[in-house]
Amino acid sequence: MSTRSKALTPSQQSVLHSVQSISRPSSDTPIVRQDTPRPATHSFIDLASNDYLGLARHPRVQAAAHQAIDQWGVGATGSRVVAGTVPLHHRCETKIAAFLGFPAALLFSSGYLANLAAVTALVPPGATLICDTRNHASLIDACRLTTAPRIICDVANPQELAAALHQVASAVVICDVVDSTDGSVLDIPAIYHTTHVAGALLIADFAHGLGVLGPDGRGALPALWTAGQAPTDLVITCTLSKALGSQGGVVLCSAEQRQHLVNTARPFIFDTALAPSCAAAATAAVEIVAREPTRVEALHQHMSALTNALDLPPVAAGVVAIPLGNPMRASVVHRTVLSAGVEVGCFRPPSVPWQRSGLRLGGRADLSPEQLARAVTVLRDALQQGN
């Protein structure tokens, strides 16, 4: 051990050892992640991003962002409760709330922070958290930040969920509507019925569902509406950075819950507000989704074409998973696909368990038939080579 290492505390030595292990990968540490910049323009076929509807570069979305920068500058310059709120924030909140049938909404600077805020601020004292086994890292971290006891179960299993609710007097159920790694979709109406009967609050992350699920991008949420509005014991969180092509997060809730978040949610009070340009871009994107449901239809058609051509089960969301059994094989196939001009995701530990390592395809509504056919050919060839 070096003289420098001896001077470190045990905790610091552990961190140093971890960094050195990653820097010198071996058979025991085969996965090394890199934040390689992508070019502004390229010829790759994009099946890696979450720009499901192709709105990140839509002219109206870009124009809205440019106009906001011209009017308000680049950054929000402060917290929403100090000097950071501009009319564009309220307009975006109103648009998204109306689109999903909620009385109110509150923007955050990321979807991650929206989840932290919703869970830490809206869980009542004395409640137990019932968390789905496959929750996103942001929901897991949010639950850890509370002092509430936790029960981990398969929320999609009616018997498991009912048994967990039966164990406690007060509960908040927390889950992802769409699994970001494989595109599986929870039956939210059924889960909500169970939580509602038990008197529990349901907080569901709709990040990969907004603008994607159902014929119009609202998924099954309209089935829960009464007189056009969502129930008060349901809170939905979303990101603005996937189907909407912008940046930021939002919590959809009742007016009372929104006011509570404004006054108690630390990610809202102590963080600089979402940039006005991102709020404006998201507003324009929501308007496009509402007016042009054919974009959602095109996404579904492309997802069906992908799954049919690759002999995979059909999916309802914008994600297709190709499990490959282990991270080494996933990495090899991923490199083969990338070298042939197709960008796809490669999921491995810690994002997924070892055996669920594989490719992750993100659908696009704006792919041409030629691009779709080319992607299928490349994927087929790479998978055959990887066997």
Give the chain's length: 387
Three-state secondary-structure class, residue 321: strand
Query: Which residues, in sequence order, are bridge partners of residue 322?
Result: 359
Q: Is 227 left (phi over 0), alpha (psi -120 to 50) or beta?
A: left
CATH architecture of 59-291: 3-Layer(aba) Sandwich (3.40)
Q: What is the pLDDT of residue 23?
A: 43
Residue pLDDT, tens place only, 68-86: 999 999 999 999 999 999 9
Separation CA 277–CA 65 (nearest Å): 4
Percent of the chain having pLDDT more than 90? Answer: 83
**Mean predicted confidence (pLDDT) in 363-369:** 95
One-letter amino acid for residue 342 of the chain: V
* Spatial CB neighbours of 314, under 8 Å, sequence gap ≥ 6: 303, 304, 307
Q: What is the dihedral of CA 268, 120, 136, 57, to 10 degrees?
A: -10
Q: What is the pLDDT of residue 349?
A: 85
Torsions phi, psi for 39 (to 5 deg): -70, 155
Separation CA 177–CA 210 (nearest Å): 10
Residue pLDDT, tens place only, 221-256: 999 998 888 999 999 999 999 999 999 999 999 999
**Mean predicted confidence (pLDDT) in 260-285:** 98
Residue pLDDT, tens place only, 331-357: 999 999 999 999 999 988 887 888 889
Separation CA 199–CA 201 (nearest Å): 7
Q: What is the pLDDT of residue 338?
A: 94
Q: What is the pLDDT of residue 126?
A: 96
DSSP 79: B
**Is residue 375 a contact partner of residue 45, using CB atoms and an 8 Å limit?**
yes
For the chain, the domains span 41-55+293-386, 59-291
**Is residue 247 a contact partner of residue 240, using CB atoms and an 8 Å limit?**
yes
Q: What is the pLDDT of residue 361?
A: 96
Angle (CA) 331-22-141 rounded to 5° is 85
The owner of tokens 């989704």 is 289
Query: Which residue, among 289, 278, 272, has the nearest Cα to 65 in the 3D structure?
Result: 278
Reported confidence tier of residue 38, pLDDT bands at 50, 70, 90? confident
pLDDT of 22 higher than 90: no
Q: What is the dihedral of CA 183, 187, 188, 189, to 10 degrees?
A: 150
- For the chain, state the CA radius of gyration: 22
Q: What is the pLDDT of residue 97?
A: 98
Average pLDDT, the chain: 92
Q: What is the pLDDT of residue 24?
A: 47
Strand order, beta sheet including 249-253: 104-108, 249-253, 234-239, 201-205, 171-176, 128-132, 150-153
pLDDT of 10 higher than 80: no
Q: What CATH number has the domain spanning 41-55+293-386? A: 3.90.1150.10
**Mean predicted confidence (pLDDT) in 124-148:** 97
Q: What is the pLDDT of residue 356?
A: 86
Q: What is the pLDDT of residue 12?
A: 63
| Alpha-helical runs (H) found in the chain | 3-6, 10-23, 59-72, 87-100, 111-122, 137-145, 158-166, 188-197, 255-264, 266-269, 276-291, 294-309, 327-339, 369-386
Q: What is the pLDDT of residue 18?
A: 54
**Is residue 352 a contact partner of residue 326, using CB atoms and an 8 Å limit?**
no
pLDDT of 3 higher than 70: no
